[in-house]
């Protein structure tokens, strides 16, 4: 899709090698060099928003209209300076809850007809006028007539993504104010898939547990097949501890990070956390069951990204409850970097998955 500003919502080739992930409570950057198969990690950095703990009760996305462009740009300049980022060309992530996903089944047709059919169908399901969004789409698979219940005709599986123009315009303003050249904008789900579930990875459920919400996506053989937002994030877990134990938000945050789900799950913080996570696991089950019912494919494993995913006991709890293999995200696999950084990169990997996927896009 050609537009006046640099936009490619569905992971096409780019030229940047700095990934900038603007989250609810922080900004993360990753700089990579080289080429696919021979990637070097140059630097990385992470900066929390001022008074981020105060946002646990009133989460405010940094790309919200209520946050000044210059404030976000200032955070980007600050962390790029501290991390000694050299590159000026960058890709930036669009939060999944600022976008709209749908997987359409469209009868097979020629390119020209398809280019007309997709926007027409999008008008029926995108909740805002098409004129107010940037629309991108990609054929992600096919269904043969023999596999369809009605046996009508072969169909394309077309993934569409729509992002409000006001969101895109805000990112463009932020990048200019930060002094970086914005090559690409990409919905963060595609960045995660590139970093954590590339082609050949099978069918994977990716869960990115952010401060405000969790994105739950099904990735098949490196391709995003579905994505949804669950209104549960690290902030809700912190509030659950505060409510159950009767301590401050600051103390609850420390308990979450240091203790997590340890000891008896029937008492104190662990009980509060498992209650909240039970709702999230219900969304996991719904996503995987719907996908299996529709396409006949089971999810083979679960990968957890986001800082909250590192909460003690969370991986084990999810594996136990779902009966599936569950692992923490590690986007730096097969990269070149000083050996001494290994333990640190394993520790921060879940938090830097989106930024790494964005930087990888620039090396394709």
Give the per-residue pLDDT at 62: 54
Residue 47 bridge partners (DSSP) = 27
Give the per-residue pLDDT at 8: 43
Which residues in the chain show pLDDT less than 70? 1-16, 50-67, 145-152, 263-266
Domains of the chain in sequence order: 17-99+165-362 (3.30.420.40), 100-164 (3.30.1490.300)
- Give per-residue pLDDT as tens, 18-39: 999 988 778 999 999 998 889 9
- Strands 181-187 and 89-94, bridge-based pairing: parallel
Nearest one of 232, 225, 226, 220 to 309, comparing CA atoms: 232
Give the per-residue pLDDT at 97: 82
Query: Is 191 in a helix, a strand, or coil?
Result: helix
Nearest one of 219, 236, 231, 227 to 308, comparing CA atoms: 236
Token pair in block for residue 197: 């579930």
State how far the Cα of 71 lies from the Cα of 174, in Å rounded to an integer: 9
- Give per-residue pLDDT as tens, 210-225: 888 899 999 999 999 9
Give the per-residue pLDDT at 60: 40
Give the per-residue pLDDT at 364: 82
Q: What is the pTM of this model?
A: 0.86
């Amino acid at each position: 899709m050609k537009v006046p500003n640099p936009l490619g919502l569905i992971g096409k080739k780019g030229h940047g090698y700095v990934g900038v992930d603007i989250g609810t409570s922080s900004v993360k950057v990753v700089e990579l060099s080289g080429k696919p198969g021979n990637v070097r990690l140059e630097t990385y950095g992470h900066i929390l928003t001022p008074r981020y703990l105060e946002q646990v009760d009133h989460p405010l996305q940094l790309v919200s209209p209520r946050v000044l462009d210059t404030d976000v740009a200032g955070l980007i300049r600050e962390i790029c300076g501290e991390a000694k980022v050299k590159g000026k060309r960058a890709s930036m992530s669009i939060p999944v809850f600022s976008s709209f996903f749908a997987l359409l089944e469209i009868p097979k047709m020629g390119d020209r007809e398809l280019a007309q059919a997709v926007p027409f169908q999008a008008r029926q399901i995108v909740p805002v006028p098409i004129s107010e969004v940037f629309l991108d789409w990609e054929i992600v698979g096919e269904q043969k007539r023999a596999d369809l219940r009605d046996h009508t005709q072969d169909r394309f599986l077309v993934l569409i993504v729509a992002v409000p123009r006001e969101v895109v315009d805000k990112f463009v303003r932020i990048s200019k104010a930060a002094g970086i050249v914005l090559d690409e904008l990409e919905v963060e789900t595609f960045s995660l898939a590139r970093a954590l579930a590339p082609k050949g990875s099978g069918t994977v459920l990716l869960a990115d547990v952010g401060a405000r919400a969790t994105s739950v996506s099904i990735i098949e053989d490196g391709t995003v097949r579905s994505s949804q937002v669950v209104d549960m994030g690290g902030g809700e877990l912190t509030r659950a501890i505060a409510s159950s134990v009767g301590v401050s938000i600051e103390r609850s945050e420390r308990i979450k990070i240091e203790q997590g789900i340890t000891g008896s799950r029937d008492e104190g913080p662990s009980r509060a956390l498992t209650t909240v996570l039970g709702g999230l696991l219900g969304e996991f089950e719904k996503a995987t069951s719907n996908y299996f019912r529709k396409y006949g494919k089971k999810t083979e494993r679960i990968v957890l990204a986001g800082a909250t995913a590192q909460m003690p006991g969370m991986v084990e709890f999810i594996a136990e409850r779902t009966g599936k293999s569950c692992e923490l995200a590690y986007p730096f696999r097969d990269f070149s970097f000083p050996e001494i950084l290994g333990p640190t990169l394993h520790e921060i990997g879940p938090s830097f998955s989106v930024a790494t996927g964005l930087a990888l896009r620039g090396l394709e």
